[in-house]
Amino acid sequence: MDATPAISVRNLRKMYGAKAAVDGLDLQVPRGCFFGFLGPNGAGKTTTIRMLMGLAPPTSGSIELLGLPMPEHALEVKGKIGLVPDESLLFDHLTGQEFTEFVGRMYGLERPRARERARELLALFELDSEPRKLIGDYSKGMRKRVAMAAALIHRPELFLLDEPFEGVDAVGARLMKEILLEQVRHGATVFLTSHVLEVVERLCDRVAIIQEGKLVLAGTMAELRSGSETLEDIFVRVVGAERPAESLDWL
């Protein structure tokens, strides 16, 4: 396996006016790992992943993906990445088959192969029972599943997933998790944000926690655990939210 990290971020900063959404972030993600990127609401997770995806230019700092500097090698890098963005950037007036096939064609697959892979992926994600249904009529969970199917069609080396399980039912989420774990076993790297710490704890072998745009903790799950601490315990301790809940007299 290539020794260069799947993701290497140095002194990454993104300013919105006078506010730093991401503030001097340094991050290394080894290849072949399942990496959880965590933080409280507004910590800068989605901004970071949008910069990695090429959807938002950094104000300063550097990004290397799969050993290649961005944005200089953006076209080459994007051909090796599978994306599931938070807002599900899908085409509502296409069917799942049409969208997934279209994404395959965008990644350079010949039409017959794109069509076959799209059909197989939709069957795998249990989205083939209503082939004429438009994505605009999909539930949020179905939208996430078709986005994941499209992200897989070109067999990427690196997955960037922003809240991939949000709105997905338990059966669909388990299926997605099993597929992602299988990709990691085959040498791919998965980088995901999620608010569901139990999911991250079960899936990820490495995590990083950011707060107010700064990295506050990073390491393997084994390194970060102290005694019987859960990931939720670690998260609450690190982000400084460990205080007694106030009670209301009337509640």
Please write the tens of the pLDDT for every residue from 5-30: 999 999 999 999 999 999 999 999 99
Predicted pLDDT at 182: 94
pLDDT for 58 beyond 70: yes
Predicted pLDDT at 168: 86
- 189-244 confidence digits (pLDDT tens): 999 998 888 888 889 999 999 999 999 999 998 888 777 788 888 888 888 765 66
The residue that leads in pLDDT, 1 or 5, is: 5
pLDDT for 90 beyond 70: yes
Rg (CA), the chain: 19
- Phi–psi pair at 98, nearest 5 degrees: -65, -45
Q: Which tokens go with 159? A: 């997955």
Alpha-carbon torsion, ordered 161, 221, 2, 177, to 10 deg:
-40
Let me know: does 117 contact 104? Beta carbons within 8 Å: yes
Give the pTM: 0.90
Predicted pLDDT at 242: 56
Predicted pLDDT at 84: 87
- Write the CA distances from 152 to 37, 161, 186, 239, integer angstroms: 21, 12, 13, 34
Predicted pLDDT at 178: 93
- 25-56 confidence digits (pLDDT tens): 999 999 999 999 999 888 999 899 889 988 89
- 135-181 confidence digits (pLDDT tens): 999 998 899 999 999 999 999 999 999 888 888 888 888 999 999 99
pLDDT for 247 beyond 80: no
Confidence grade of residue 88 (pLDDT, cut at 50, 70, 90): low
Closest CA to 221 of 211, 212, 210, 233: 233
What is the C-alpha to C-alpha distance for residues 48 and 53, in angstroms, rounded to an integer?
9
What is the C-alpha to C-alpha distance for residues 68 and 73, in angstroms, rounded to an integer?
6
DSSP letter for each residue of 37-57 = EE-STTSSHHHHHHHHHTSS-
Number of Cβ within a 10 Å radius of residue 187: 11
Predicted pLDDT at 7: 96
Closest CA to 196 of 230, 229, 236, 163: 163
Q: Which tokens go with 33? A: 């790992």
The secondary element (H helix, E strand) that includes residue 193 is strand 189-193
